[in-house]
Amino acid sequence: MSVRFLLSATRILPGVSATGVRFIFTLARCFRFSQLSQLAQLAQPSQIAQLLNFVSSGRIKALFFFAAFSLAGCVSYEPAQLIPELTLSGEDVSFSSANTSERQIDFGLNVGANESDSLFDLATLPGVLVREVIAGGAAATAGIRTGDVILRIDNLPIDKPDALASIEQTAQPATFEFTVRRDTTVFLASVIASPARSTPPPRELYRSDPLATRAGYTTQLLTLSTSTSRSIAAATVVDIQLDSPLIPAGIEIGDAIIALEGREINSAQDLISRLTLEHELGDRVEVDVYDGSSVQRKTLVLWHPGRRISRVSLGPLLNYEASAQNATTSFTFINLWLFSVYQYGQSGGERTHKLLSIFEFASDYGELIEEPQP
């Protein structure tokens, strides 16, 4: 530190000699008790006067003022893009419905209880209310509409929706006579029930990783052409988004990831779960990739949403806050608790300006109204 640093300090702080600067640095070092003797030796009246002049100078006051504001200020960050909360699936996923009963015939309508509209008498009226008629279905062909009330089917009273569902589950395709009430008119409709079409159950396509790798994988059992020729599980890439980190890493659709950080994976879901639970977005990980001919270890930088400043505060001088979560922005200049020189706020399309805590005006998007043509 010696002479060069002391001379530099003398040029920065004019009016203070090198001896005075040396006294200041010795004073700073004297927080260690072993060097108190040095302070006693240097504490001469002329040097103390120089120190007092130095401390009382305008530059030091400005320095202390800036330091106080710096201690009162802060800067915060948040992700530049909203990150959805990801719920991990289990290894085995069942898509079967809880209702395993299958219909034999289909009337092409949905019904509900025929409840009265009175606020004083909530009794259930006879029949079932037609809530939906499937276009092109048997009921629509017979002329039944939404809002009709089905009273009987083949002279069997239908007072609950379960009664109609029971007929669909047990009867064979045939023509059924529906006694229907529409407003105050009761009529007979012949409904030719068609066989219920069996809908194939959902089938799994792949497992999706929408965050870390932004890609989709299926579990595949591979037999590598090695000396042992053993079979291992792999996560084969079947879908890649445009901003997936697999692209710069040279991983393509059809490649199979067999290990993550040197540990073999058990399935596609195992790869996604380990990336989500054991690593952070933006981490650098090593994966072993099999491209059909050889296994290569590649470096993969997980996707990161980026960062943006969400808050800047500098004591009472200014305060800026912005949140992508709820699309709000606020800015305050010289905020003295109950009084501020200027305030700005934005929430959605609304903009608010407030001056001297007295004058306030706001603006918002206009409403587009389509006027009917004459």
Look up the CATH number of the domain holding residue 215: 2.30.42.10
Asked whether 39 and 30 are in contact (CB, 8 A), the reply is yes
Question: Which range, 12-16, 116-120, 358-362, is most confident?
Answer: 358-362
Q: Domain check: are 317 and 342 in the same one?
A: yes
Pairing of strands 318-323, 359-363: unpaired
Last residue of some domain: 245, 277, 301? 301
For residue 87, being part of any structural domain is answered with no
Q: Which residue has the tokens 């949403």?
A: 305
Q: Are residues 297 and 317 in the same domain?
A: no
Q: Is pLDDT larger for residue 315 or for residue 145? A: 145
Q: What is the pLDDT of residue 35?
A: 46
Specify if 240 maps to a domain.
yes
Q: Do both 240 and 168 map to the same domain?
A: no
State how far Cα 332 lies from the chain centre: 29
Q: What is the mean pLDDT of residues 347-357?
A: 81
The pLDDT-based confidence of 305 (bands split at 50, 70, 90) is confident
pLDDT, position 356: 82
Q: Which of 302, 352, 313 is nearest to 329 (CA)?
A: 352
Of 162, 158, 167, 154, nearest to 128 by C-alpha is 158
State the burial class of residue 178 (Cβ atoms within 10 Å of its Cβ: 0-12, 13-18, 19+): buried
Do the domain assignments include residue 77? yes
Classify residue 33: in a domain, yes or no. yes
Out of 195, 230, 260, a domain closes at 195
Is there a single domain that holds both residue 109 and residue 161? Answer: yes
283 and 316 part of one domain? no
- DSSP lists the bridge partners of residue 47 as none
Q: How far is CA 125 from the centre of its chain?
A: 47
How far is residue 177's CA from residue 155's CA, in Å, rounded to a whole number? Answer: 8
State whether 347 and 318 are in the same domain.
yes
Residue 254: domain span: 207-301
Instruction: Tell me if 256 sits within 8 A of 234, measured CB to CB.
Output: yes
pLDDT at 14: 44
Highest mean pLDDT among 78-92, 135-149, 298-312: 135-149
Query: Domain check: are 117 and 187 in the same one?
Result: yes
Reduced to 3 states, what is the DSSP secondary structure of residue 100?
coil
At 129, the pLDDT band (50, 70, 90 cuts) reads very high
Where does residue 209 fall: left (phi above 0), alpha (psi -120 to 50 degrees), or beta otherwise?
Answer: beta
**What does the radius of gyration of the chain's CA atoms come to, in whole angstroms?**
39
pLDDT at 13 over 50: no
Predicted confidence at residue 258, as pLDDT, reads 94
Same domain, yes or no: 40 and 62: no
- The residues, ordered by sequence, that sit 6+ positions from 1 with a Cβ below 8 Å of its Cβ are 25
The pLDDT > 70 percentage for the chain reads 68
Residue 145 in contact with residue 159, Cβ under 8 Å? no
- Total domains in the chain come to 4
Average model confidence (pLDDT) across the chain? 77
Question: Is 97 inside a domain boundary?
Answer: no
Burial class (CB in 10 A: 0-12, 13-18, 19+), 353: middle
* Same-domain pairing of 226 and 290: yes
Residue 372 lies inside a defined structural domain of this protein: yes
247 and 189 within one domain: no
**Residue where one domain finishes, among candidates 195, 215, 237:** 195
Give the three-class secondary structure for 157.
strand
Is the same domain home to 236 and 291? yes
Does residue 121 register a pLDDT over 60? no
pLDDT at 10 over 90: no
pTM above 0.85, yes or no: no
Would you say residue 163 lies in a domain? yes
Tokens of 38: 């040095």
Phi, psi of 88 (to 5 degrees): -80, 135
What's the distance, CA 107 to chain centroid? 43
- Domain-located, residue 78: yes
Where is pLDDT greater, at 23 or 214? 214
Average of per-residue pLDDT across 178-198: 90
* Same-domain status, 123 and 179: yes
Cα–Cα distance measured from residue 128 to residue 148, given in angstroms and rounded to the nearest whole number: 8
41 in Cβ contact with 22 (< 8 Å): no
**Per residue in 250-263, pLDDT tens?**
999 999 999 999 99
pLDDT for res 7 = 43
The answer to whether the beta carbons of residues 334 and 318 sit under 8 Å apart is yes
Question: Given this model, what pLDDT does residue 131 score?
Answer: 92
Rounded mean pLDDT of 279-295? 92
Inter-residue contact 290 to 298 (CB < 8 Å): no
